[in-house]
Amino acid sequence: MNDLPDILESPEITRQATGFVFTEGPLWHPDDFWYFNDIRPGTLYKMRLGEEPEMIRKTVGGNGMTFDLKGRIIHCEGEARNVTRTELDGTVTSLVDRFEGGRFNRPNDVICHSDGSLYFTDPSMRRPFAEREVPGPEGENGVWAGARVYRVAPDDSISAVVTVEYPNGLALSPDEKTLYIANTRSNQYVHAIEIEADGTYVRRRIFCDFSGDEVGFPDGMKVDSAGRVFCTGPGGIWVVEPDGTHVGTIRFPEQAINMAFGGEDLCTLFVTAHTSVYTVRVKTPGQPHPFYLQK
14-294: which CATH topology?
Neuraminidase (2.120.10)
Q: What is the pLDDT of residues 66-85, one digit of tens each?
A: 999 999 999 999 999 999 99
pTM of the model: 0.95
Enclosing H/E stretch for 294: helix 290-294
Asked if residues 166 and 186 have their Cβ atoms less than 8 Å apart, the reply is yes
Q: How far is CA 151 from CA 12, 13, 51, 112, 184, in A?
A: 38, 35, 36, 10, 20
User: From CA 278, how far away is CA 27, in angstroms rounded?
Assistant: 13
- Give, for all 295 residues of the chain, the pLDDT tens digit: 688 989 999 999 999 999 999 999 999 999 999 999 999 999 999 999 999 999 999 999 999 999 999 999 999 999 999 999 999 999 999 999 999 899 999 999 999 999 999 999 999 887 878 888 887 665 445 555 568 999 999 999 999 999 999 999 999 999 999 999 999 988 899 999 999 999 999 999 999 999 999 999 999 999 999 999 999 999 999 999 999 999 999 999 999 999 999 999 999 999 999 999 999 999 999 999 999 987 6
DSSP result, 45-108: EEE-TTS--EEEEE-SSEEEEEE-TTSPEEEEEGGGTEEEEE-TTS-EEEEE-EETTEE-S---
Q: What angle (nearest 5°) sits at the alpha carbon of residue 288, between those of residues 205 and 4? A: 70
> Which residues have a Cβ under 8 Å from the Cβ of 265 and sit 6 or more positions away?
285
Enclosing H/E stretch for 233: strand 229-233
Q: What is the pLDDT of residues 143-154, one digit of tens each?
A: 555 689 999 999
- Nearest to residue 157, comparing CAs of 184, 197, 114, 117? 117
What single-letter DSSP state applies at residue 139?
G
User: From CA 233, how far away is CA 25, in angstroms rounded?
Assistant: 16
Helix (H, G, I), strand (E, B) or coil at 137: helix
Domains of the chain by residue range = 14-294
CA within 13 Å, CB half, 218: 31
